[in-house]
Structure 1
């Protein structure tokens, strides 16, 4: 059977509210703050079809009621020659964010992109691992185009002759304000399809628009606790004994470890893959994984989906594969149920049944010369382009369902995703290794409904290694990827103690990280996000106009303007602002939102709505806490708490204001939380009449999880 229309009804129980609009398009209100329209005849197979998710309607209904955020009469949708063109209005001071996982830019107004799943090629041109066709405006709304196509975007770059707000014609000979980029009042898109489905998300703030998009696309994933611990990916040809030795070394040196990633050498053959264990390197995979799990360490398996002629499933799956091969392996058409049964059947038998806890799904993004070409054909009849745009979604959804059937949560890595993939428990990674780009990508992931890891692999100096490890600790996945280098946390002895302290800090912060991911799941708030989504942040960026007098017209003949951006600091959870240091830096500037902020390590006051300069020393990554912030922490642990294991809680309070925090709890491993087996405990700090702080925690609900062994309070800011 072939997947056709998406199997989830988004709108069946919703009263439709029709707004005036251009032409024949009608805007339907499908959830609080969410509207939908259809232009022309959309493709049967879309991003939401591939993702196969259901909106979190109850959570959306709990959000505030708002009006349609745009002038519907200025939204244009036209179909000509089997392609759809869309136009959305822009105000003069409006800024845009999103359009997928970008690595060099945060502000997207003035950019031209082709949203195309691909390996990132060191340029923000739309070809990226997650080219999500969703953007959010500084005015507090978002737009999502539900099309599994390569989408051309002109994000405020073109000026129409009939525009109601046309640019002014200027004389370059006499006018110093002449610009090669005249004002544009619209976002325009081209979709190579005879129609498209479009959604608009209201705010009223940019963060609320992002939250509505995330909830509409399933809510964020809730990883198992062990997934938020520390992970080491070992050398690609390690044997089971070498992995055991690595685990022993982590334990002996006092480094936490929750899961180990095995690279291609665990397979009998790879590139293309057999999906069965190498009998020499891993003669007893079931015993091997059982032994490590008993020690608190799980196994994650590298795979890509291309089937070797030597795989046991090759003959059965061959009729359900595409016309072109990748590395001489056939490409399963994963929109066909028969193909899914064959392909994932061997995963269940060889991997999950023997104890594997997750996957790193590689090579589902690009490059063009590696993957199937756009002339390829698939037995489902869907185009190679549609397959390219959705293959990352398909492998995430279908592998996640394997674990769901066993009531086991998973957390892994993937090379490609797209719109609709918000709820999948996968973190994106790539082969680029620019530390600054990694931070910009982490910021942009929060606008795209995806997760990104700034992994550590290797470094030229001890300083660089420590700086990268500090960033890893404040990210969705604390990972060393040593598949090629064999790097260890202690590879630079001169900073081993500092790296160990950072790794342990990750584990101490487990209650905070776990609660923030729960908010992502239940409320749609990205756990890692850009400063423009933070209330009170005054965006200090601006266009720096370059005049002919100041420009080098030989190299820049059109005097292009440049843009200042805040792309090297981000919010981590409800209360933390993280400002990474990079190799060679001893100090840096940090832009603080309005309201008082305090040093995470000392509790000292640092500033209020201003730009500060910090000199943290080599051993610390600058982290700041909002006034009244509460950070729940636990003791230093080598492994995340297991199901049913109690842990101690130290609650830290910062600043001069009372504060509250919702602490999330469940069993940490299963999907039982979806049936109500979870709890929120309210942590609150108030000031007594004598000026002393007092901390309180709400009582556990009867029949709800209660994994707290003891609670202590630490008031970090002392007058």
Structure 2
């Protein structure tokens, strides 16, 4: 009997294996769902996924304006099967192909060879897939993108696994005698395991990596267009400040000449937090409406810290209790935001207590992880979605629903979030975390450009004045210029030795407002990230990424499997269309900068610095190295302490760099509302042309009738002599 059972078991196992092989060999049907965007359905996908959680329509008209895309694979090379309630996907890789993406990584830009479990979590110091935005989208150096639309923990083998049936299977070598032996045998595929009986898969055409990124961004709604004040400067004050102390801090910014557009209140604004009541503490904030009004009159808005875990003392506790999960966080109940009842109870409280008295935005904390305090995967929710699906999408849900409160009032917002995922490209939130490594912050900034998210390398405090200035320089060239002083109480002037230099950098941020605002408009309307990795820049070659060591130089005593690794460019990036930024870190007096093909010029002086080469720069403590493409045009304005208000006219100083002609698209609208969605915006073309006498002359197109025009006087500076 036992032998019969064993024989049946072996037959069943063989049958399952053969079924797997048959399914694996099947061709996947691909449907073009937008120009250059194809979708395939494998098996029976979950009813709830990332795109359904985000629920944002694609910007189809913008996608149609891109160059026509070509499907990047032979369809027979893509494999898919569903066995044991899991879906296995395989996409081919060529020999010299590199891949980027898979979310907000902090240490690596090249993802080929990585093994990841894409799992929403805090960042724990390793690039293993557990991060604030584990976006299941990757981009190839060959110029295409792949997106897995699943709200599950996804396992990725990014060119790390070698199959015996591969046409390019690695050759067995004798390590004792063959110097070509490697601990990383060649793999010709990205293999992905989704713990579900099916999944939707999307492929995005190029022809360049940036084109693939643009298609993905537009397909997921296009980037956010922040209010102008959101691109100004922000200070998050100490967690237990009172309304009087906040007002005094705002006055100090004004008196000392440091720009400030919005202040962030940390947990102490609430009557109780961890878990939260979401109502004002009457001791620290006796009259919140008057407090917010006074700040607004000073040109400063208010942003509130929250996390969504409801205290038993919150006025909404009893109402929302039936719509929460089985487990608590810090003894607070966890709302199931996929339910309409939850949304109405929770966000109505915010609308009445916060928005109606003038609050301008939120910092939504702790929707990402630490397993030890967040709900476990055994938790149950009234929607019947799994705890895993709720965790993967919680950041998306709170972003979408809170942003909708402001849109209903025709009022733009810009805030902070601890977790996001695919589909959240258009939400007006910037990711932050508790990690605090300056170099890794810059790598995260670079990686954000592959995944449709924004990240801020915020400044909190520093051990030295040098470190403070270097961090502040990076902050100025980022999606949100922020000091987060919730614990330290740090001010921009807290390090007197560099206070003047910090002020100059902060005012530079304000001077560059027309450039930043136009670049975010391109993110919204065209899908172009405002901060971009060098690997997305035309003229940058992977040949410029040199090997760090040779195989012979590897220390085999320290690591028996050490070998040469190609150097990644993870400490410099593109800011907008024309600027290359190369941050300096504590202890550095000089650094190398890789210049892509074409001439490049110093941002501050206009001097020529090089062309398609590696240069060494020694900028001094007061400058962050910034370079401009040949023909680059940078629109700037006066160094004001607050971003321009609705209807406020500004002066333009238009800078031109280099020895060739150039053009730039300058964007304008009212800076605060969603009226641009009704066509109330303008693009004006700036041109710099060379005259017969060899001199440059600038012009700007006329403003269209009934379109916004917030420009007063215009001056021109031709920086390169």
Task: State the TM-score, normalized to the length of structure 1.
Answer: 0.96
Please say if 1:162 is aligned against 2:165: yes
Distance 1:123 1:661, change over 3 A: same
Distance 1:682 1:150 in 2: 46
Distance 1:497 1:196, change over 3 A: same
Distance 1:253 1:426 in 2: 29
Distance 2:239 2:320 in 1: 27
Equivalent in the alignment of 2:541: 538
Alignment of 1:506-525 (within 5 A): 506-525=509-528
Deviations 1:501-521 (A, max 9, x none): 000000000000000000000
Distance 1:269 1:258 in 2: 27
Distance 2:333 2:213 in 1: 38
Equivalent in the alignment of 2:16: none
Distance 1:566 1:54 in 2: 34
Distance 1:372 1:681 in 2: 50
> Offset at 1:166?
1.0
Match of 1:679 among 682, 696, 700: 682
Equivalent in the alignment of 1:313: 316
Match of 2:616 among 613, 617, 628: 613
Does the CA contact (< 8 Å) of 1:181 and 1:560 recur in 2? Answer: no
Alignment of 1:646-685 (within 5 A): 646-685=649-688
Alignment of 1:85-484 (within 5 A): 85-484=88-487
Distance 2:554 2:188 in 1: 27
Distance 2:314 2:87 in 1: 42
The answer for unaligned runs of 5 or more in structure 1 is 1-20
3-state SS of the aligned residue for 1:711? Answer: strand
Distance 1:545 1:168, change over 3 A: farther
Equivalent in the alignment of 1:570: 573
Match of 2:557 among 545, 554, 558: 554
3-state SS of the aligned residue for 2:214? Answer: helix
Distance 1:578 1:542 in 2: 20
3-state SS of the aligned residue for 1:447? Answer: coil
Does the CA contact (< 8 Å) of 1:113 and 1:154 recur in 2? Answer: yes
Match of 2:51 among 48, 51, 68: 48
Deviations 1:50-92 (A, max 9, x none): 0010000000011111210112111011000100000000000
Deviations 1:277-306 (A, max 9, x none): 000101111111111111110000000000
Distance 1:312 1:552 in 2: 62
> Offset at 1:543?
4.9
> Offset at 1:352?
0.5
> Offset at 1:560?
3.9
Range 689-698 or range 306-315, more displaced: 689-698
Equivalent in the alignment of 1:623: 626
> Offset at 1:24?
5.3
Distance 2:593 2:689 in 1: 29
Does the CA contact (< 8 Å) of 1:543 and 1:562 recur in 2? Answer: yes
3-state SS of the aligned residue for 2:272? Answer: coil
Does the CA contact (< 8 Å) of 1:518 and 1:664 recur in 2? Answer: yes
Does the CA contact (< 8 Å) of 1:439 and 1:454 recur in 2? Answer: yes
Equivalent in the alignment of 2:645: 642
Does the CA contact (< 8 Å) of 1:546 and 1:559 recur in 2? Answer: no
Does the CA contact (< 8 Å) of 2:554 and 2:564 recur in 1? Answer: no
Does the CA contact (< 8 Å) of 1:87 and 1:189 recur in 2? Answer: yes
3-state SS of the aligned residue for 2:215? Answer: helix
> Offset at 1:558?
2.1
3-state SS of the aligned residue for 1:562? Answer: coil
Equivalent in the alignment of 2:494: 491
> Offset at 1:552?
3.3
> Offset at 1:497?
0.5
RMSD across aligned positions (CA): 1.0
Distance 2:269 2:25 in 1: 57
Deviations 1:361-389 (A, max 9, x none): 00000000010000000000000000010
Equivalent in the alignment of 1:505: 508
Please say if 1:33 is aligned against 2:36: yes
Alignment of 1:683-702 (within 5 A): 683-702=686-705
Distance 2:36 2:411 in 1: 34
> Offset at 1:174?
1.0
Match of 2:604 among 601, 605, 611: 601
Distance 1:22 1:679, change over 3 A: farther
Q: Kindly tell me the number of residue pairs found equivalent between the two proteins.
A: 697
Deviations 1:567-617 (A, max 9, x none): 000000000000000010000000000000000000000000000000000
> Offset at 1:704?
0.3
Deviations 1:252-272 (A, max 9, x none): 100000000000000000000
Does the CA contact (< 8 Å) of 2:243 and 2:284 recur in 1? Answer: yes
Q: Which runs of 4+ in 1 moved over 6 A?
A: none
Deviations 1:210-231 (A, max 9, x none): 0000000000000000000000
Distance 2:439 2:351 in 1: 39
3-state SS of the aligned residue for 1:330? Answer: strand
> Offset at 1:170?
1.3
Distance 2:716 2:391 in 1: 51
> Offset at 1:545?
6.6
Equivalent in the alignment of 1:6: none
> Offset at 1:22?
5.6
3-state SS of the aligned residue for 1:322? Answer: strand
Distance 2:688 2:255 in 1: 39
Please say if 1:83 is aligned against 2:86: yes
Equivalent in the alignment of 1:67: 70
Does the CA contact (< 8 Å) of 2:403 and 2:427 recur in 1? Answer: yes
Distance 1:255 1:546, change over 3 A: same
> Offset at 1:562?
2.6
Distance 1:681 1:551, change over 3 A: closer
The answer for unaligned runs of 5 or more in structure 2 is 1-23
Task: State the TM-score, normalized to the length of structure 2.
Answer: 0.96
Distance 1:546 1:708 in 2: 56
Range 146-155 or range 165-174, more displaced: 165-174
Distance 1:107 1:532 in 2: 10
